[in-house]
Amino acid sequence: MPLGTILITIAMMLRRLLFQLRQLTLGLSFLLLAGLFPRPAEAADRTAQTVWDGVFAPAQAERGQSAYAWSCSRCHGEDLTGSGNVLRGAKFMDHWREDNLKSFFTAIKTTMPRNAPRSLGDGEYIDIVAYLLQANAFPPGAEELTMDALEQTRIVGKEGPKPVPDFALIAVVGCLTQASADTWMLRNTSDPVRTRNPRESTETELADAAAKRAGPNTFRLLDIRNFPSHAHAGRWVEAKGLLIRAPGDDRINLTWLQTLAESCKQAQ
């Protein structure tokens, strides 16, 4: 085949290839504009929702106020200040910040009304959560709060996330070490997170614990003698307990200790 014919054929093939690439680029651009491929920032926004993002609707809070008046006000008062004023203001935030709405919803459902827990429908309990958010001056939005959104919505102060407060029930993972005969330390631990379960972890909790990586924290463990089967230096463990902060001596008063891996190197 003459050289000129070969060059023409190659040029035509290149032109066809460029046309196909152009069509593919236009197609991907259309999908991106249509929202089928969310931008990373959008995906991050969906997983970083807080109570300041307008997570309930005004009409939902109004229904919740009626449900609260009927089922809750006898103990907690019409102005929410009864039973120790735990449903609004500083006490509410101290007890629930750095947690998610699923924990709050579950606590309400499983303990209230006092003499008839779980007696309301999930929708009514969610409406009550919406009303309590409104009572704590969190802003409403256009959409109603749903069951699916509870676990993805974090309770934080207006200034944003803060470290878990003193005396909160927490869970961490880390490397168990023995500093002396009576002193046990948990080193390279993950950041403490709130838990509402002081005892043996559920399968979901264990899966979350196994996925956590080492962190920069160190805690002295109190009452480890209550867990002799897991008190072995060099193990990677999950620890639960009450957080006690002190300069240079952060401690966890243990309520549970569980081995996740026989060696810290294996886990890390």
Task: Please provide the DSSP assignment of 134-182 as one string.
Answer: HHTTPPP-SS---HHHHTT-EE-BTTB--PPPTT-EEEEEEEEEEEETT
Handedness of CA 152, 154, 158, 162 (dihedral sign): negative
Taking residue 214's Cβ as centre, other Cβ atoms within 10 Å add up to 16
d(CA 254, CA 241): 4
Please give the helix or strand (H or E) that residue 10 lies within, else none.
helix 3-34
Residue length of the chain: 268
CB 126 within 8 A of CB 20: no
Cβ–Cβ < 8 Å for 188, 215: yes
Residues in the chain predicted with pLDDT less than 70, given as ranges, are 1-48, 266-268
Please choose, from the candidates 151, 96, 156, 91, the residue with its C-alpha nearest in 3D space to the C-alpha of residue 126.
151
- Whole-number pLDDT of residue 265: 85
- Return the pLDDT at 107: 95
Q: For residue 82, how many other CB atoms are within 10 A of its CB?
A: 15
Q: How far apart are CA 236 and CA 257, in angstroms?
A: 10
Q: Report residue 66 as tokens.
A: 């009626």
Rounded to the nearest angstrom, the gap between the alpha carbon of residue 170 and the centroid of all alpha carbons in its chain is 12
Structure tokens at 122: 């999930």
What are 170-214's pLDDT values in tens digits?
999 999 999 998 999 999 999 999 999 999 999 999 999 999 999
CATH topology (fold) of 58-155 = Cytochrome Bc1 Complex; Chain D, domain 2 (1.10.760)
What is d(CA 223, CA 243) in angstroms, rounded to the nearest whole number? 13
**Cβ 57 vs Cβ 144: under 8 Å:** yes
Distances (CA, A) of 234 to 67, 151, 180, 240: 52, 34, 14, 18
Q: Measured at the alpha carbon of residue 122, what is the angle toward residues 157 and 141, in degrees to the nearest 5? A: 45
Residue 15: the pLDDT is 52
Give 225's DSSP letter. Answer: G
CATH dotted code for 169-267? 2.40.50
Cα(144)–Cα(86) distance, integer angstroms = 24
Domain borders along the chain are 58-155, 169-267
